[in-house]
């Protein structure tokens, strides 16, 4: 019996190139949090480079753990792990509240360790939530994941620095559009292996095209060291402060919610639906990876939804490909010069490729919704309201500005709020107190009482 595509081992060259595609797709997301937090602390350029390399190294370890797995740890799906952006706001708040900035990272690391260990213990209970994720919920959440990521691509397309004079310039947008067109042309007019690495080829070509426009900076390569190791506790032994721990425990709950949704989405895409056992194993890998990460000066790890789009587009479902990508991340953490090669890719070029990747996630969600029974009015309402709630942080970023900072960690995540809304609405409309009108037909959203009659069915054959 042939192996499932998820367990397929590809030839070495194909494994390496497709693994690099995953690294290119998630690199910016991994390095952004340490750059932001490090800048808030006021780290030197050397320490900032060290912190970034450490986050790459720990992201690689977490990815390998997630894809290959040991014992009951690891979803064993093509699932990429990296530094979660949900922790940036509370970590910068911890930095601001720490009088001696040299203590800020040890306090953050201590809080991440505790949150990771508590999350690991809670994984077997948290995974029970799968029963609340029928297709109408998973389809809504997958669609939201794609929609939530698209603004990231649009931001990349404008440039790396919103304060720069060329942010959103015709040159930057042209590079993004050119990369997008290149990826589309490669997907349309090539086949086989070349078609599968269209994103990687588009990034390389876009980077070369950007050179005459001065958008490609090779400085990081020249300045980077060849060898470097994230020495354990480089910034000091972890410190344990209650307020910091509580803050990052909230982030861990948000992270576990998003990871659950991402595993369900990825299971649909690779035709291996994620059950309770898979989700529990995946959450254990997430949380254990987070708990171990601070030992090597890294932050909390979580699923990277942008890589789900890459799996959806290329249809390369092998977990070993993503494990290879994790191996590259580990090497980048050990070789700063190698890491700097990915950093050479201009942000607008990444933005152009991101439109395809993140749009593919949203398209996968729509495919799931097609199978979700949208002929039922109740399901239409579940999808309509959960999508509306989920896009609030995107379309109105300051909507929850009056809420406490701790609450905003959850509320400012459209994926989390949309997911909770979809689960609750599905329970209310499809499970609790089902009596009377069962709403089998789609009605006009403004005239809920007027049903559109279904076409008469042909009489049964005698």
In which band, very low, low, confident or very high, does the pLDDT at 102 lie, cut at 50, 70 and 90? confident
Tell me the per-residue pLDDT of 179-227, one tens digit each, with 9 for 90 and over.
999 989 988 888 766 776 777 788 889 989 999 988 887 766 766 677 7
Contacts of residue 329, Cβ cutoff 8 Å, sequence gap at least 6: 23, 30, 56, 57, 59, 60, 63
Joined together, the tokens standing for residue 400 give 């929850």
Tell me the per-residue pLDDT of 331-349, one tens digit each, with 9 for 90 and over.
888 887 766 666 677 889 8
When mean pLDDT is compared across 103-112, 315-324, 366-375, the lowest value belongs to: 366-375
Exposed, middle or buried by CB within 10 Å (0-12, 13-18, 19+), for 377?
Answer: buried
Give the whole-angstrom CA distance, residue 8 versus residue 10: 6
Domain residues of the chain, as ranges? 5-430
What is the DSSP-derived secondary structure letter of residue 372?
S
Residue in 375, 365, 453, 447 with CA at minimum distance from that of residue 143:
365
Query: Residues for the chain: how many in total?
Result: 462
Three-state secondary structure readout of 290-354: HHHHHHHCCCCEEECHHHHHHHHHHCCCCHHHHHHHHHHHHHHHHCHHHHHHHHCCCHHHHHHHH
- Farthest CA pair distance, the chain: 85
Q: Residue 64: pLDDT above 50?
A: yes
Give the whole-angstrom CA distance, residue 81 versus residue 439: 41
Joined together, the tokens standing for residue 165 give 């004079």
Percent of the chain with pLDDT over 90: 21
Tell me the per-residue pLDDT of 404-428, one tens digit each, with 9 for 90 and over.
876 776 787 777 788 888 889 998 9
| DSSP letter for each residue of 162-227 | TTSTTTT-HHHHHHHHHHHHHHHHHHHH--HHHHHTHHHHHHHHHHHHHGGGT----HHHHHS-S-
Mean pLDDT for the chain overall: 81
Task: Identify the pLDDT of residue 462.
Answer: 39
What is the DSSP-derived secondary structure letter of residue 376?
S
Element (H, E) at 82: strand 81-83
Task: Identify the pLDDT of residue 120.
Answer: 94
Side-chain-facing half-sphere of 118: CA atoms under 13 Å = 16
Please identify which residue in the block is written with the tokens 């042909």: 458
Three-class SS of residue 462? Answer: coil
Give the whole-angstrom CA distance, residue 243 versus residue 383: 36
Joined together, the tokens standing for residue 41 give 């602390």
Task: Identify the pLDDT of residue 450.
Answer: 41
- Indicate the pTM of the whole model: 0.67
Q: Residue 150: pLDDT above 70?
A: yes
Residue 177 near residue 209 (C-beta atoms within 8 A): no
Give the whole-angstrom CA distance, residue 240 versus residue 258: 26
What is the DSSP-derived secondary structure letter of residue 436?
S
Calculated CA dihedral for residues 58, 59, 60, 62, nearest 10 degrees: 90
């Amino acid at each position: 019996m042939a192996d499932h595509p998820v367990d397929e081992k590809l030839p070495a060259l194909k494994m390496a190139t497709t693994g690099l595609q995953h690294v290119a797709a998630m690199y910016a997301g991994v390095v952004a949090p340490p750059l932001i937090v490090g800048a808030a602390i006021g780290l030197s350029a050397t320490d900032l480079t060290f912190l970034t390399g450490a986050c790459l190294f720990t992201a690689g370890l977490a990815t390998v753990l997630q894809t290959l797995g040991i014992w009951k740890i690891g979803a064993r799906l093509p699932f990429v792990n990296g530094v979660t952006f949900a922790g940036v706001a509370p970590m910068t708040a911890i930095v601001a509240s720490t009088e001696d900035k040299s203590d800020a990272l040890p306090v953050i690391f201590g809080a991440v360790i505790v949150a990771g260990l508590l999350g690991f213990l809670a994984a077997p209970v948290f995974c029970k939530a799968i029963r609340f994720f029928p297709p109408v919920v998973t389809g809504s959440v997958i669609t939201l994941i794609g929609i939530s990521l698209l603004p990231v691509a649009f931001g990349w397309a404008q440039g790396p620095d919103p304060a720069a004079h060329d942010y959103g310039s015709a040159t930057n947008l042209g590079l993004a559009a050119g990369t997008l067109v290149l990826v589309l042309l490669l997907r349309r007019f090539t086949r086989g292996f070349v078609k599968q690495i269209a994103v990687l080829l588009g990034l390389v070509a876009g980077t070369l095209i950007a050179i005459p426009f001065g958008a490609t900076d090779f400085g990081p390569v020249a300045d980077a060291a060849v060898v470097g190791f994230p020495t354990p506790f480089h910034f000091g032994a972890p410190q344990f402060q209650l307020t910091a721990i509580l803050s990052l425990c909230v982030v861990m709950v948000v992270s576990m919610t998003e990871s659950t949704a991402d595993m369900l989405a990825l299971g649909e895409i690779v035709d291996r639906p994620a059950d309770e056992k898979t989700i529990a194993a995946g959450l254990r890998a997430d949380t254990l990876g987070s708990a171990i990460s601070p030992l090597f000066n890294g932050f909390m790890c979580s699923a990277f939804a942008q890589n789900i789009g890459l799996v959806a587009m290329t249809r390369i479902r092998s977990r070993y490909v993503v494990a290879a990508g994790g191996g590259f991340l580990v090497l980048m953490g050990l070789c700063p010069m190698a890491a700097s090669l990915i950093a050479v890719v201009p942000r607008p070029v990444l933005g152009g490729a991101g439109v395809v990747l993140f749009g593919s996630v949203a398209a996968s969600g729509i495919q799931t919704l097609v199978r979700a029974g949208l002929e039922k009015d109740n399901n239409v309402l579940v999808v309509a309201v959960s999508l509306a709630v989920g896009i609030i942080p995107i379309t109105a970023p300051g909507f929850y500005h009056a809420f406490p900072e701790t609450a905003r960690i959850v509320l400012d995540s459209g994926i989390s709020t949309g997911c909770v809304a979809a689960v609750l609405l599905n329970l209310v409309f499809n499970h609790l107190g089902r009596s009377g009108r069962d709403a089998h037909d789609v009605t006009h959203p403004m005239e809920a009482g007027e049903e559109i009659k279904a076409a008469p069915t042909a009489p049964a054959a005698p």
